[in-house]
């Protein structure tokens, strides 16, 4: 039989038990180590500690936790001295006189340049995407619609797709869609199936080890699916750099 995870940690894996029981009184460094241990418990070979490529992230996490812990210690020992030290550091780096005016002017110029470049990049990408929509092949897609619960019962609403400001409202039924919109709709459907599968897994009150295995199975099954609401998750060659 499956049982839910005990919030007091009794009977659970030592890493999970330590995380549940010691979180309130643990230091920042201890919390970081417990989080890493829990990550390894849940993800196994895919955890941060077991992935050499993520070693720099683990080091940064530990370094950051140690720095926060040290700052907390210094504040608790002498809060007045700690705050004075922060003001002294701020005063040392604060520009003055002509340098201050130059810094403000340079900052304003950089903001304007960044805004102009961003607008140009967006405009270029939109032109590329517009041309892609004109020339891309089409694919037949059956749109099921989006079931929504209302006071009158379940209503099947049209599907709404927005890619870089190019929008489509699709009533239930068969449609010939440009390839980017067909791909986006398929991603939306896959994301919904993934959410349903994960919600089902969470509702089964599995033990932590069983839930971790189920999560890994779902990761493999839906590994390429995202839940993004717009263009950020749709990689269209020639449009998204």
Burial of 55 (0-12, 13-18, 19+ CB in 10 A): exposed
pLDDT for the residue numbered 7:
45
Residue 239: predicted pLDDT:
43
Strand partners, 154: 149
pLDDT in tens, 90-137: 777 777 777 777 777 777 777 777 777 777 777 888 888 888 878 888
**Checking phi first, is residue 51 left (phi over 0); if not, alpha (psi -120 to 50) or beta?**
beta
The C-alpha atoms of residue 139 and residue 183 are separated, in whole angstroms, by 9
Task: Identify the band that residue 11 occupies on the pLDDT scale cut at 50, 70 and 90.
Answer: low
- What is the structure's pLDDT at 240? 39
pTM across the whole model: 0.42
pLDDT-based confidence at 15, cuts 50/70/90?
A: low
**Residues contacting residue 174 through CB under 8 Å, at least 6 positions apart:** 140, 141, 142, 143
Per-residue pLDDT reduced to its tens digit, 44-64: 778 888 888 888 888 888 898
Check: CB of residue 28 under 8 Å from CB of residue 69. Answer: yes
Phi, psi of 159 (to 5 degrees): -85, 135
* Cβ neighbours of 163 (radius 10 Å): 20
Determine the 3-state secondary structure of 127 from DSSP: helix
Q: How many CB atoms lie within 10 A of CB 162?
A: 14
Spatial separation of the C-alpha atoms in residues 186 and 234, rounded to whole Å: 11
């Amino acid at each position: 039989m499956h049982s839910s995870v005990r919030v007091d940690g009794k009977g659970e894996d030592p890493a999970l038990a330590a995380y549940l029981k010691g979180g309130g009184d643990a230091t920042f460094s201890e919390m970081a180590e417990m989080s890493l241990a829990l990550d390894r418990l849940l993800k196994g070979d895919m955890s941060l500690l077991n992935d050499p490529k993520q070693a720099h992230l683990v080091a940064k996490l530990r370094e950051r936790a140690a720095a926060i812990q040290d700052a907390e210690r210094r504040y608790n020992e002498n809060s007045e001295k700690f705050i004075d030290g922060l003001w002294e550091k701020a005063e040392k780096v604060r520009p003055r006189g002509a340098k201050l005016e130059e810094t403000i002017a340079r900052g304003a110029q950089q903001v304007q340049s960044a805004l102009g470049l961003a607008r140009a990049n967006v405009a270029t990408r939109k032109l590329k995407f517009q041309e892609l929509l004109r020339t891309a092949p089409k694919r037949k897609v059956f749109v099921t619609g989006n079931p929504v619960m209302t006071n009158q019962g379940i209503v099947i609403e049209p599907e709404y797709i927005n890619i870089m400001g190019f929008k489509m409202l699709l009533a239930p039924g068969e449609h010939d869609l440009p390839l980017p919109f067909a791909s986006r709709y398929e991603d939306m459907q896959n994301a919904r199936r993934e959410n349903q599968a994960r919600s089902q897994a969470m509702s089964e009150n599995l033990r932590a080890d069983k839930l971790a295995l189920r999560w890994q199975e779902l990761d493999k099954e839906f590994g390429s699916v995202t839940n993004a609401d717009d263009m950020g998750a749709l990689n269209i060659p020639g449009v998204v750099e």
